[in-house]
Amino acid sequence: MSTDELRHNWDISEVQALFDQPFNDLLFQAQSIHRAHFDANSIQISTLLSIKTGRCSEDCGYCSQSAHHNTDLEVEALLPLDEVVKAAKKAKAEGADRFCMGAAWSRPNKRDFPQVLAMIKAIKSLDMESCVTLGMLDKEQVAQLKEAGLDYYNHNLDTSPEFYGNVISTRTFQDRLDTLNHVQQAGINVCSGGILGMGEERKDRCSLLVQLANMKQHPDSVPINMLVQVEGTPLFGADEIEPLEFIRTVAVARIMMPCSVVRLSAGREEMSDEMQAMCFFAGANSVFYGERLLTTEGASAQADQKLFANLGISTSLEKKSGHAEKASVSRTELSA
């Protein structure tokens, strides 16, 4: 399937039929499509950096950084430029070629936005790719990010439009779509996915994937997060998603968006090696790497190295088109 043949007209019933297949049949289909577009034994490595932590005005029910929730999170102001550059240089020395920054904002403010633009330019001067997640954007802000040289923008849809109101009330689903449209129209790569295990049903997971796959251009990266429950947030105590259902979702995402990088994101520290291996077989080919994912614990780097070695996985993502995406660093918040 060439990029010209990618589908953008999925309906819910088709996606439900994919989910309803016998597990082995679904994984075989996903793995076959995965191998047609990527080296099945290579993945992209991603790392997180928070440049501004806590006191976000949004009320996302999963997020420890929301000012609406009492999570005892230590609030941090926007990091100084020199600290960000220092962190980027360290990441590059460890083999990263993409550095991504995230701020706990509903949208960038006029006071701090120029500093973020300076950070992007500084990252580019290090011969690294840049990525940010800053909340909602208008066309003018997107144009400024493009001019600064931004490579990737992360903004998750989180869940289906039908279930969205059960999780967030301070911004609409359409607000998220508008930001993604602005980013794509400017020619900036999009990273957008969702969170599983927030009390949604399978029909909501189907609807989320339809929203992503029916975009005019599929997201370049599709992070699939498993809810990390944080005490003090409304979703603390929610029923956890079954591991096989999570793996099914990864597989269906791979089938629907065959050329996108499917990122195994938050919640990986709670997955067994066997579950992660099944996710890779289902088509996941990117992970978060490091002991910290913003405000929650991440997977151990040492454990990851052992897992990759046991599975024979290379950390240089190979695409069948003939070019390679090197092991990279990016930053994606659950709320993104």
pLDDT exceeds 60 at position 263: yes
The answer to whether 38 and 89 are in contact (CB under 8 A) is no
pLDDT at 324 over 50: no
- What CATH number is given for 7-325 in this structure? 3.20.20.70
**pTM for the whole structure:** 0.86
Q: Across residues 37-54, what is the average pLDDT?
A: 84
Strands 129-133 and 152-154: parallel
> Does the structure show a pLDDT above 70 at 148?
yes
pLDDT in the model for residue 140: 92
Check whether 85 has a pLDDT greater than 50. Answer: yes
Q: Which amino acid is at 50?
A: S
pLDDT of res. 98: 75
* pLDDT average, residue stretch 224-238: 81
Q: Identify the top-confidence range among 57-61, 73-77, 250-254.
A: 250-254
200 with 163: CB under 8 angstroms? yes
What value does the mean pLDDT take over residues 301-322?
79
| Beta strand 261-264 pairing with 194-196 | unpaired
Name the residues annotated as catalytic.
56, 60, 63, 100, 131, 191, 263
Give the 3-state secondary structure of residue 91: helix
Question: Is the Cα dihedral 237, 238, 239, 245 positive or negative?
Answer: negative
CA 165 to chain CA centroid, Å, is 21
Q: Angle, to 10 degrees, between the axis of helix 202-213 and the axis of helix 12-19? A: 120
Q: For strand 98-103 and strand 296-297, is the pairing parallel, antiparallel, or unpaired?
A: unpaired
- The per-residue pLDDT of the chain, averaged, comes to 84
